Structure 1
Amino acid sequence: MPDDWARFLYLGLLLLFIGGAVLVEFSGRASQAMRMAALWAIIFAGAIFLAGVWQDWNTPQQVVSEDGTRIEVPMDASGHFLLTAEANGQPVRFIFDTGASSIALSPDDARRIGIDPDDLAYVGMAETANGTVETAPVTIERFAIGDLVDENVPAMVIRADITGSLLGMSYLRRFARVSFEGEMLVLER
């Protein structure tokens, strides 16, 4: 909630700045020009505000309980459960995938967490919806979802042009309960 207030304050100051700039610019001109300029400034600032608020309202947010033992992940508009975790200190967006045997990192996500996909030994193969891909085993030193932290988590890097990473069964088995409550994925330890 503090982030919401900071966003509203920022957008309010932006509106005040734009409105003040328009008033200063047209102060020596006819009142009609000032009204038009102010109207356009309000329309512009309002569009920016609504775009930001709309995006925030339509982005499902995961919730981690205070004790870190329960994670709730709402379904997104496409019908997937997207979970954000920190891998080696970097935020990574994962698609919850019970069909994946392990954590599968895209080459881009691997780079962001400090693993160079070009220096890996691709010794494995995996069947995906897009066909067979080469895989390289890696270890994520620190994997955190909220206050829930695991160390030395095995994963693989996929040698393919994929846009996201998968949170598969090898990690999901660490939870005592994985369930669906309506359009909510619930992970409990």
Structure 2
Amino acid sequence: MTGDQTASLIYLVLLGGVILTWYVVANRGGLGKMAQHLAAWGLIFLGVIAAYGLWADIRQTVMPQQSVFAEEGRIELPRAPDGHYYVTLDVNGQPLRFVVDTGASAMVLTQEDAARAGLQQDELFFFSEAMTANGAVQTAPVTLDRVALGPVTDRNVRAYVNSGEMSQSLLGMSYLDRFARIEISGGKLVLER
């Protein structure tokens, strides 16, 4: 446990002790009823702790993930709560998460994702320029050895690395054009080859 977690735990224990003491003093006459209330609040408290501890598992179960139907050559991407579509691609053997951006003409990697994909920072030359909603940015053209999405694998894929700050890599039209069909319907983005 870190120092902050320990301090939070001590605070919660003290707060719980103060509330329990107040409750016992206020309800001295009906100890049986107080025990019932105490048990109910204890179960609620344990339920909250359990839900907090299991939230990552619950979220993964409740929030749909991308689905790959290899035999049909179809990939389905669910709409995220923020309204965007996200996809995880295997880029040079590394799983990288992209936001699908039909407004981007090319596949654009953040510098962090480029490093994870094995592209050396000192080998990137930021001589090209891209226009974004925030203005012009310098980009470095690169060739990705291997990009895979489910059963679909492409080799020597052209992309760019953004020189500026970018929170998410973009999957633009240069990659999406490789699919025979792109459809958005019923909260899903469907890609087929």
TM more than 0.5: yes
Pairing 1:110–2:123 present: no
Q: Percent identity among equivalent residues? A: 45
Query: What's the counterpart of residue 52 of structure 2?
Result: 47
Structure-1 separation of matches of 2:133 and 2:108: 13
Contact 1:90 1:113 in 2 (8 A): yes
Structure-2 separation of matches of 1:161 and 1:70: 33
Query: What amino acid is the match of 2:174?
Result: S
The 3-state SS of whatever aligns with 1:53 is helix
The 3-state SS of whatever aligns with 2:70 is coil
Deviation of 1:68 after TM superposition, in Å, equals: 5.8
Instruction: Determine which of 166, 189, 192 is the counterpart of 1:188.
Output: 192
The gaps in structure 1 that reach 5 residues or longer are: 1-34
Query: What's the counterpart of residue 157 of structure 1?
Result: 161
Query: What amino acid is the match of 1:136?
Result: A
Pairing 1:100–2:110 present: no
The 3-state SS of whatever aligns with 1:143 is strand
Structure-1 separation of matches of 2:58 and 2:47: 18
Deviation of 1:41 after TM superposition, in Å, equals: 7.2
Q: Structure 2 length normalisation: TM-score?
A: 0.72
The 3-state SS of whatever aligns with 2:71 is coil
The 3-state SS of whatever aligns with 1:67 is helix
Deviation of 1:46 after TM superposition, in Å, equals: 4.8
Matched ranges for 1:1-189 at <5 A: 44-49=49-54, 51-67=55-71, 69-189=73-193
Equivalent residue pairs, number: 153
Deviation of 1:178 after TM superposition, in Å, equals: 0.8
The Cα RMSD (Å) is 2.1
Query: What's the counterpart of residue 4 of structure 1?
Result: none
Structure-2 separation of matches of 1:45 and 1:81: 30
Structure-2 separation of matches of 1:68 and 1:147: 10
Structure-2 separation of matches of 1:57 and 1:138: 36
The gaps in structure 2 that reach 5 residues or longer are: 1-38
Contact 1:63 1:71 in 2 (8 A): yes
Q: Which has the larger radius of gyration?
A: 2
Deviation of 1:53 after TM superposition, in Å, equals: 3.1
Q: Structure 1 length normalisation: TM-score?
A: 0.74
Structure-2 separation of matches of 1:114 and 1:132: 26
Q: 1:43 to 1:114 in 2, by over 3 A?
A: same
